[in-house]
Amino acid sequence: KAGVTQTPRYLIKTRGQQVTLSCSPISGHRSVSWYQQTPGQGLQFLFEYFSETQRNKGNFPGRFSGRQFSNSRSEMNVSTLELGDSALYLCASSMRPTSSGNTIYFGEGSWLTVV
Amino acid sequence: AQKVTQAQTEISVVEKEDVTLDCVYETRDTTYYLFWYKQPPSGELVFLIRRNSFDEQNEISGRYSWNFQKSTSSFNFTITASQVVDSAVYFCALSESNYGQNFVFGPGTRLSVLP
């Protein structure tokens, strides 16, 4: 059974640009969560989607947005990139929302560098 | 509010030593779930164990064991006879059933197992 797949794995962007990251969850999983990981802030929750609806959003500015498609695949977008957005962006999937106590399974992440 | 503390930032041991990683959590929920994940240098968080708040039985899986104590709000992880391949960052996480809608991760403990 394929795991969570994230693309691209590595990317470099210039300050002010925007970026879109993609996540394909494990087959049968309908919940997708996104996390940002930085050395200073650790793992921080961005948002969670279930059945194409955003269930919860972390404390990030509006430049961070996401969506989920009918096939459960998800994308997150960061507009007007700042140097501080450089991070590992991790996607995780589960069968049901995390509030149900479901285990979430992570992808390998997308390493974003903003220069 | 949810909170997870991992007081040990870094631990270094010599191969074959036993090592215990500490995790202390805070929650106002009566139903919650605790997790441990391992993050090797590749970046992907690998799921190790899930425990719900009603199950205080300790668990052993090979060289890994977990000690869950509600009285002290702790969920500690022990690796017996550590190996170099155990070197990674280990995260403890908490998911609440009623009050939270997402995972909260601790800051992680970097374990280095030296040959």
Mind listing the pLDDT tens digit for each residue in A10-60?
Answer: 999 999 999 999 999 999 999 999 999 999 899 999 999 999 999 889 999
The number of C-beta contacts closer than 8 angstroms across A and B is: 61
Q: From the list B37, B43, B95, which residue is nearest A101 (CB)? A: B95
The answer to whether the CB atoms of B105 and A42 lie below 8 A apart is yes
Cβ–Cβ under 8 Å, residues B2 and B104? yes
The answer to whether the CB atoms of B101 and A56 lie below 8 A apart is yes
Report the amino acid identity of residue A34: W
Tens digits of per-residue pLDDT, A72-103? 999 999 999 999 999 999 999 998 887 778 89
Tens digits of per-residue pLDDT, B1-50? 789 999 999 999 999 999 999 999 999 888 899 999 999 988 899 999 99
Q: Does A88 touch chain B (CB under 8 A)?
A: yes
Phi/psi region, residue B62 (left: phi>0; alpha: psi -120 to 50; beta: rest), is left
The tokens of B88 are what?
């990674």
Return the closest-CA partner of residue B14 out of B82, B87, B63: B82
Number of other residues whose CB lies within 10 A of the CB of residue B93: 25
| Alpha-carbon separation of residue A36 from A28, A100, B12, B75, B80 (angstroms) | 24, 22, 27, 24, 31
A55, closest residue in chain B (CA to CA): B101
Cβ–Cβ under 8 Å, residues B74 and A26? no
Number of other residues whose CB lies within 10 A of the CB of residue B23: 27
